[in-house]
Amino acid sequence: MARNTPPRTSRLARGAISGVAVARIGLARIGHSVRTPSEQAQADHEAALGRILFGALAQLRGTALKVSQMLSMHPSLLPEGIRRELARGQHQALPLNRALVGRVFRQAFGHEPEALFSRFEPTAFAAASLGQVHRAELAGHGTVAVKVQYPGIASTIASDMQLMRAALKALAHTGMPLPSAAIVDSVMDEIEATLLREVDYLQEAEELAWFAQHAAWPGVAMAQPIASHTRAQVLTQQHLEGLHLDAWLATGPTQAQRNQAGQRLWDWYLHCIFALGRVHADPHPGNFLFRPVGDGDCHLGVLDFGCTRALSPHFRACVAQAWTALLQPASPARDLQVMQAYQSLGLVGPDLGAEEFSATLPLLSAMQDWQLEPLTAEVFDFAAKKPPPLPDADQQRVLGRHMAGVPPEMPSFERMWLGLMHLLTRLGAQVRTTNPWVHRHPLATGHTHATSAR
């Protein structure tokens, strides 16, 4: 199929692709069961299953590739070998030809793009899994960025999610250490809700306007949407100047510039998390622009507000309580603080005893330490940060037995934090990480951040 054609939107065609993938997963399970068990054999098995899944999602394209990206960023949901294969979806793009772009505009506005803009570049300068971006000139606004959604993309979400759930059920029968079916379902429900928000460009325009008004931060720019030229499938916004991360790093920025860019990322995200309670939940490098200002400064532009997430005061308070406690030396009092926060979040059940929880904490410690490592120093050097640890199959099985559920905010929050760590590590930034929301002693006060987190 040509790469400038839209994704297959027929339910029958997409169902056939998924059905073949489910069958291949079953055959892979049989093949794996007759081999001699070993660590390498398990790794090969995970990679093979990941390739089967990604192969199907790559054929489906559109929202299916977006699901691939999202699942690849959930270390607690899928084994590493599978996630590594699914992460390839972050590098896929689907350019639309001129005729399809015109069709989207005719359906949205009743006009060709040339009738709406004084100049419209027919070749996109940026692409993603759900749409592509064109430069244009608009009277009274100058240069603007126009995001055009792939035709028919929204209509595939429900069927794609149903097909992906079937594939995950097939994976569960292969012996993969997945969480309980209820937890998998809750994560998939959150992903589906995120996709439904992301394909509604009118809602994205509202989010963009909200962040531009409420999340203003020194040196951080967000484009204003232009309502007159925005519809559900077309978003027009101010054009931001700057380079994407790889292009900017190729210019050889100074350490001071990298530090300043990293500091702005860190400060802006923590402000959004704990003060505003609403975050940009898709912090991959393509969603940020870097613009050097002198030898020691760098301003940021933030793009793509289709994937945002509101964080309730309760969720923020529990996260702050857990993180603050985990930064203290190990003790029964510290463990009790963490357990109370996790129970309040619904991650573990209320019937889990303190001793049993303390025995489980070592299984969580590697990922907890990785997440909180930047908070252990007043100034943290992200150039030294290592990739996230990989839990083995036995750890995942034990954790799966104790995990009671996943708060609705948690998938987006974990994806956001993982993406932020990745960005800061790529920058190699030295960042002052102390902040008023986490760096306080919970054992001395005995209460949470419910007030300061609002």
Output the DSSP codes for 198-263.
HT-HHHHHHHHHHHHHHS-BTTEEEPPB-GGG-BTTEEEEEPPP-B-HHHHHHT---HHHHHHHHH
Rounded to 10 degrees, the C-alpha dihedral 313/396/54/249 comes to 60
Provide the CATH number for the domain around residue 204. Answer: 3.30.200.20
In a domain, 6, yes or no: no
Q: Are 439 and 321 in contact (CB under 8 A)?
A: no
* Banded pLDDT at 34 (limits 50, 70, 90): very low
In a domain, 177, yes or no: yes
* Banded pLDDT at 173 (limits 50, 70, 90): confident
For residues 420 and 452, membership in a common domain is answered with yes
For residues 213 and 70, membership in a common domain is answered with no
Q: Which residues pair with 309 in a beta bridge?
A: 279
Give me the pLDDT at residue 451, please: 30
Tens digits of per-residue pLDDT, 39-62? 666 677 777 777 777 777 766 666
Q: Are 272 and 413 in contact (CB under 8 A)?
A: no
Is residue 452 pLDDT above 60, yes or no?
no
Token pair of 24 as six digits: 């291949």
In a domain, 3, yes or no: no
Token pair of 196 as six digits: 């439904």
For residues 442 and 310, membership in a common domain is answered with yes
Residue with more model confidence, 25 or 334 = 334
Q: Which residue in 358, 348, 321 sits closest to 183, CA to CA?
A: 348
For residues 62 and 74, membership in a common domain is answered with yes
Residue span of the structural domain in which 47 resides: 11-91+153-196
For residues 396 and 297, membership in a common domain is answered with yes
For residues 322 and 403, membership in a common domain is answered with yes
For residues 320 and 210, membership in a common domain is answered with no
Q: Provide the mean pLDDT of the chain.
A: 82
Give me the pLDDT at residue 35, please: 47
Please list, residue by residue across 384-399, b when 16 or more beta carbons sit within 10 angstroms of its beta carbon and e when fewer do. Answer: ebeeeeebeeebbebb
For residues 302 and 334, membership in a common domain is answered with yes
Give me the pLDDT at residue 370, please: 92
Q: Which of these ranges, 157-161, 276-280, 314-318, 430-434, has the smallest mean pLDDT?
A: 157-161
Is residue 261 pLDDT above 80, yes or no?
yes
Number of domains in the chain: 3
In a domain, 1, yes or no: no
| Terminal Cα-to-Cα distance of the chain (whole angstroms) | 50
Is residue 8 pLDDT above 70, yes or no?
no
* Banded pLDDT at 286 (limits 50, 70, 90): confident
In a domain, 426, yes or no: yes
Is residue 68 pLDDT above 80, yes or no?
no
In a domain, 219, yes or no: yes
Q: Which of these ranges, 91-95, 288-292, 303-307, has the smallest mean pLDDT?
A: 91-95
For residues 276 and 422, membership in a common domain is answered with yes
For residues 306 and 449, membership in a common domain is answered with yes
Tens digits of per-residue pLDDT, 310-364? 999 999 999 999 999 999 999 999 999 999 999 999 988 888 888 888 888 888 8
Q: Are 261 and 298 in contact (CB under 8 A)?
A: yes
Q: What residues contact residue 446 under an 8 Å CB cut-off, 6+ apart?
A: none
In a domain, 45, yes or no: yes
For residues 211 and 338, membership in a common domain is answered with no
What count of Cα atoms within 13 Å lies in the side-chain half-sphere of residue 100?
A: 20
In a domain, 385, yes or no: yes
For residues 305 and 397, membership in a common domain is answered with yes
